[in-house]
Chains A and B, each alone.
Chain A
Amino acid sequence: MGLGGTLLLLIAVMPFAGALLPGLMIRAGRNVCAISTAVPTFLALTMLVVLAPSVMQGDVVQAQIEWLPQLGLSASFFLDGLGLLFAGMILGVGLLITLYARFYLSGEDPMGQFYTYLLLFQGAMLGIVLSDNILLLLIFWELTSLSSFLLIGFWKHLPEGRQGARMALAVTGAGGLAMIGGMLILGNIVGSYNLTDILAAGDQIRASEWYLPALILILLGAFTKSAQFPFHFWLPHAMAAPTPVSAYLHSATMVKAGVFLLARMWPALAGTDAWFYIVSTTGLVTMVLGALIALFKDDLKALLAFSTVSHLGLLTMLLGFGTQAAAVAAVFHVINHLTFKAALFMTAGIVDHETHTRDIKRLGGLRHLMPITFLIGTAAALSMAGIPLFNGFLSKELMLEEASHTDWFGSAYAVPVMATIGALLSVAYSLRFISHVFLGPVRDDYPHKPHDPPFGMWAAPALLVAMVVIIGVAPFLAEGIVTAAANAVTGADLHPHLKIWHGFTPALWMSVIAVAGGIVLLLLHKPLDKLWIAAPRPEAKAIFDRLIAGLVSASRAITEIGHNGAISRYLAIFTASSVALGWVAYSSGGLSAPTRELLPVSPVIFVGWVMLIVATLSVVTMHHHRFRALVLIGIIGLSISAGFAYLSAPDLALTQISVETVTIMLLLLALHFMPKITPKESSAGLKLRDGVIALGAGGGVAALAYAFLLRDIETISDYHLANSYEGGGGTNVVNVILVDFRGYDTFGEIIVLGIAGLVIYAVMHALLDGPAARRLKNTDYSHDRSRDRHPMMMVVATRVMMPIAIVVGAYIFLRGHNQPGGGFVAGLVIAIALLMQYMASGFAWTQERQRMEYHTMIGLGVVIAGLTGVGSWLFGRPFLTSDFTYIHLPPIEEFEVATAMLFDLGVFLTVLGGVMLMLYSLSRIARFAGETVNVDPMDYDPADRITDEEER
């Protein structure tokens, strides 16, 4: 990468680098702001001029920086004739627009923002025309969509601006996405995303079976951007933007991007029938249709917008012809269209700025009031009409020449006739622009008295018109750049000669017809206009709006059907799909033969099984009565515990029983604040649905369990059994797994419990601060309150049991490592003992008699367990490595001390704290609901009895 490459990179970066400048410099004033926009543009243009001579001679300047090689995306740029032409236009017109906008924008418009967007857009456009990598090109392509969205919606308080911006984004965005697909296919065919490689592989691409999809997708991108029929409708609505934007986007840049892409991809894609028919037909239709609509538009900018559509159609058609001469004509017309159209937009802007209207029917006679504007506008419009001595004439002649010998589906007349009609309409609306705005008598009903604008405002269009005339008179001046660009498009070595007089060619006669017919049409405009207004025609915006509205409401319908907030439905779908997919997975694989026999069913087991089934069915039928359901759930839990015990899993049984007890007790307490009956909500159909799903799921689980109970498999548990005593220091392998082999799991689970405590506490607070608190306060719970809140018998019984329960807890805790038990169960046992105290004597009374904070208890538990794990680091061992030793302290027998016990203490504390914090939260709610605080342990304390003697 030499100096040229560096300059090229700088050119590409310059607008982005400078983009923030105007946004900041606006604080220094409007002139500084405009200048700070012009500086990066000017610098880039200067560098381009430096590179121009060598490029004109056919050199290609290249620069490359690797970006994402895995994808084949690199920040590589190249500058050839075509790139030079477009980059020059983008930067040159960019400068003129900057100047023009400085005078056009009013003091209320945020000018800094405007110029920032403008530079971003300019940078994106430059990127498109300089990219040497089609993925990079895609990036810039989408960036133009985004930045033009901002520019079109610049007057964000106007609905037209917002809608126009969204429409442009939707249409060009859709095209851009299609183009992504096309470009990726193209890259896959060639094996490279480098444009240079792709352009060299034209034959390979055209021969590929993927050619047609790629072509269509890429053309979708180009056609939407260049507003080709039927995607033309967004362009007129984009005119809601400030006029400098329109002038820039619709003459030199945005819409030309599509044409540029067609030209750029010409060597790779053109030359097939598909290309010819799709591209040239689309172009032809667009050209005629755009011109026709333009003739009847009363809004100056709309007229120009549709004329742009028409001229873009013309360019597309030329490129679609696929001949070298047509490519030359296209390149030349790009230049000419740029000069006259930009000048015309600026003229329209001046007229609007001065008269405060763009409605042609309210204008006329301005030539006397605005002579300079008149001159500029007329010259540009004549060029647009294709009148000799203006540059538009030259390229139109070339176009008609090409059209005159183009065959279309065997017809030699279709294209020439249509092209002539297009040219004719073009003459008509161009002349209308002149005569209905500037000619005729001076009116006295302009919304604002017009006069010529300051020099700064007409300087830019004047310069453009000067070019219109110079090229029109001396076309050979443009030969150099046209040659360079056309050679870049076609990849051939052409030497076109641009001249005014070609002799009496068919094209000349077509031109004559066009001009004569155009004048006739203009004279007939009034009656034709009435006819046009009366005729029914589809309104593109209405169709588009309906389409979007339809899409939105369809989306809403689809979304809201599924996401309606019914958790039962979500669960039904979840369960049903689990069962279905599970079945599919199962049935598509084979199953080895069972290795075990079925065991005989003992009577005890049978009874237990029946109990379980009956209890379960009862829950299903009686769940509306919540209290009963809770009792039944208790039965199920106990049956399961019995099952564990029977199947030689005493640890599980012990845990299950204590967990069962604690949860049922807490649920009972909570039930106090809830309705005792659940309303019936499900219809019979729903119940049937849910029943079928439930049976399916239950049956599935049963089938699974059955399948693997009959098969032996070698598991890692054998290792646990073998190493429990030797490595873990315990004979109870379940406990050793819990606190040692998989102590980390237990660590996680006690944290779950601790978090649950915290969450319940937090929810309780949120509830008591919210509207639920009012409901709690206003509900009367007294009717289902027992008359004996704290019966003496219960108080005494729990008081007696307390020390016993604590001893049992301690015992279970200590023996855990070798016998069923452990910290988890011990925590629950102690919790139950405390729970009973609270239930018997009331929360307040009990609370006063213990000092421990539950929050702290949970925290301490987690920290102790964690630190036990961390402790092993000190000995250079991983987290939670346990150690144990045997201590002999007379007179007690030798006993074991294991670090696992410390870990188990953490478990114990967390469990205890968690349960108690839940209880505490419930009691807070109870007090909130009007529960009185008791200071006495029982309702009737015999000790307080006033004896008969005392009474006496």
Chain B
Amino acid sequence: MHWIILPVVLPALLAPVIGFVMRHDITLARIASVAGTVLLLAIALGLAYMAADGTTHVYRLGNWPAPFGIVLVLDRLSALMVLLTSALALIVLIHAISTGWDARGRHFHALFQFQLMGICGAFLTGDIFNLFVFFEVLLIASYGLMIHSGGKDRMRAGLQYVVMNLAGSTLFLFALGTLYASTGTLNIADLALRVPEIPAEEAALVRVATILLMIVFAVKAALFPVQFWLPASYSNAPAPVAALFAIMTKVGAYAILRVHTTVFGPGSPGTEDLAGTWLFPAAIVTIAIGAFGVLGARRLMPLIAFSVVGSMGTLLVAVAVFSTTATTAALYYMVHSTFAAACLFLIADLVVTRRSGDALQPELPTRQNGLFAALFFAAAIAMAGMPPLSGFLGKLLVLDAIREPGLIGWAWSAILIGSLLTIIGFARAGSVLFWKSTAITVPDAEDGETEDSAASIQSPLATVGQVAPVMLALAVLGGLAIFAGPVSAYLDNTSAQLFDRAGYVEAVLSPVEER
């Protein structure tokens, strides 16, 4: 059963071939990249099917027994994340190709595949040091993608991105050192076995490791007070890359879910109080920052970036509760917000490249103004958490899952007021971009030239290939709402499995027959 490692090995082998053999022919690179991503999606579907019966599949690299070698662990959660990644990747890739973004710099497809390898590796690993390695892979690849095609602002934002994340990586190493020094292992299952045995009166060091790891993951998840890098990075990245990055913040959230639930979560007397205590207020502030950012944005791309920050806040509020119901809600919201954010970036790209920039001020309407307006409206509805798309259900699930009296007031007011500000912010932006623009007439529309034809000189028509990815993302959001029942049944099982510490430990650490 080598299926589990395919999401890592496939892009890892494809990327060098694309980068080094096909680097002179963009068409060839495109074909290979799309084929690889389609294949990845197929594999991910297969893995999700494999994991659906509730078995925790373990892949022992180098045939070494856990915890001594590295293991990959496929359970419902990791299968879900890989599936999410590959579906998003395909959508983003089609956009990047159809808009020609991939040809505006070198090595887009190689970096893209490496990026996928990094993300999938992070989701599949059962070893926390290996998680660090894949954080590095996805960081360096994402940096390459972020500064793809260059430009002054992009390079500057890229530098901030990489510096901030390298600082996070450094802290990761400190945290790992502390963790290893206090438990003697870095295998997640082994940690899940050993950390609960540490009593509170001897837990000082492992507590430091817990909190440092949380900060590391929080940097990735863009949680207050380490969210500062995100708005500038996402809004200056090439739009398809920003769309792909929708999954990157989820890597942080995933890591918190995995590590702070299975290892340090309920049942570990020394550490169980820590994560929730600090995560919750941070997430609340993050929601506020996102909402204020959306409302105050002067440009479209930062507006979307801030809405991503806000959605991460909502997601982590649910994570911070550390209960199965809340985790189900968090997972549903995670899937939803990934596609919603990506969809917004993609549609924004279509609009912004047809205008003089992403400043929120009226300009001559582009051709197909109505189409873009409709798509933006739909994506904004999803992001702001309004029906009929999945955002509303996600929000309801999160709100409903928070039952502790002490938390309800904060969480509900933050999420609901945050939603309101987000709605107002998006309404203002859309109104300026798509409505106010129609009031502008061409200053010198001479010779009976109509407004439309004058504008059309400037903006090219969007092709099917350019609109299709946005539509696909919207279709996913719609499907997520319609099939909310079956989806959350899967997610219910997923969170039950996540909280089943004993099952995880047993699956990973059970002795192997041969070596």
Contact = CB atoms under 8 A, between A and B. Distances in A.
Contacts of A869: 9
A70 B488 contact: yes
A170 B420 CA distance: 7
Nearest to A66: B485
A71 B400 contact: yes
Contacts of B163: 567, 571
A268 interface: no
Given A585-B274, A759-B143, A578 B215 contact: yes
Given A139-B387, A708-B178, A715-B185, A586 B207 contact: yes
Interface stretch (A494-502, A505-513, A589-597, A776-784): A589-597
Contacts of A187: 400
B416 A556 contact: no
B61 A743 contact: yes
Interface size class of chain A, counting residues whose CB lies under 8 Å from the partner chain: 35 or more
A560 B292 CA distance: 10
Interface string B147-191: 111111001100110011001100100100110111111110010
Interface centre among B12, B17, B190, B200 (most CB of A within 10 A): B12
Contact of A755 (B130, B140, B150, B167): B140
A581 B278 contact: yes
A675 B253 CA distance: 41
Contact of B431 (A162, A745, A749, A761): A162
A713 B182 CA distance: 7
A686 interface: no
A723 B130 contact: no
Interface in A656-673: none
A70 B492 contact: yes
B140 A759 contact: yes
A878 B62 contact: yes
B68 to A, nearest CB: 5
A156 B438 contact: yes
A459 interface: no
A855 B20 contact: yes
A468 interface: no
Nearest to B212: A582
Nearest to B418: A177
B399 interface: yes
A449 interface: no
Contact of A708 (B64, B190, B205, B488): B205
Interface stretch (A301-309, A411-419, A764-772): A764-772
B183 to A, nearest CB: 7
Contacts of A180: 395-396, 399, 416
Contacts of A556: 296, 298
B468 interface: no
Interface stretch (A36-44, A51-59, A366-374, A547-555): A547-555
Contact of A742 (B70, B181, B200, B392): B70
A935 interface: no
B50 interface: no
Contacts of A880: 61-62
A713 B215 contact: no
Nearest to A141: B387
Interface string A361-390: 000000000000000000000000000000
Contacts of B270: 589
Contacts of A705: 177
Interface stretch (A350-358, A836-844, A858-866): A858-866
A851 to B, nearest CB: 15
B182 A170 contact: no
Contacts of A870: 9, 13
A723 B438 contact: no
A647 to B, nearest CB: 15
| Among B174, B203, B232, B400, residue most surrounded by chain A Cβ atoms (within 10 Å) | B400
B62 A711 contact: no
A701 B174 contact: yes
A574 B210 contact: no
A67 B202 contact: no
A402 to B, nearest CB: 35
A551 B274 CA distance: 35
A879 B2 contact: yes
Interface string A560-604: 101101010111011101100110111111111000000000000
Contacts of B484: 67-68, 73
Given A740-B62, A743-B61, A863-B17, A578 B171 contact: yes
Interface stretch (A142-150, A321-329, A623-631, A943-951): A142-150
Contacts of B298: 556
Contacts of A720: 68
A745 B292 contact: no
Interface in A690-717: 701, 704-705, 707-708, 711, 713-717
A589 B70 contact: no
Contact of B293 (A157, A555, A744, A765): A555
A589 B203 contact: yes
A582 B181 contact: no
Contacts of A555: 291-293, 295-296, 421
A404 B141 CA distance: 77
Interface in B50-89: 59-64, 67-70
Nearest to A556: B296
Contacts of A855: 19-20, 23
B495 to A, nearest CB: 11
A565 to B, nearest CB: 6
B13 A863 contact: yes
B105 A562 contact: no
A866 B9 contact: yes
Nearest to A771: B152
Nearest to A146: B386
B313 to A, nearest CB: 14
B136 interface: yes
A562 B230 CA distance: 12
Given A552-B295, A751-B137, A752-B140, A563 B231 contact: yes
Nearest to B147: A763
Contacts of A447: none
A863 B420 contact: no
A181 B386 CA distance: 14
Interface stretch (B27-35, B36-44, B107-115, B340-348): B107-115
A940 B184 CA distance: 61
Contacts of B445: none
Interface string A726-759: 0100000000000011111101110110111011
Contact of A881 (B62, B155, B297, B381): B62
A697 to B, nearest CB: 9
Contacts of B159: 567
Interface in A67-120: 67-73, 113
Interface string A869-897: 11011000111111000000000000000
A67 B485 contact: yes
Contacts of B431: 153, 156, 162, 165-166
Contacts of B151: 766, 770
28 contacts: A67-B484, A138-B387, A146-B386, A177-B417, A180-B395, A554-B292, A555-B293, A555-B296, A559-B296, A567-B159, A567-B163, A578-B171, A581-B278, A589-B270, A708-B181, A714-B184, A741-B62, A744-B61, A748-B137, A752-B136, A752-B140, A755-B144, A756-B140, A766-B151, A771-B152, A862-B12, A870-B9, A873-B2
A-B pairs, top 3 by smallest CB distance, nearest first, are: A766-B150, A859-B20, A555-B296
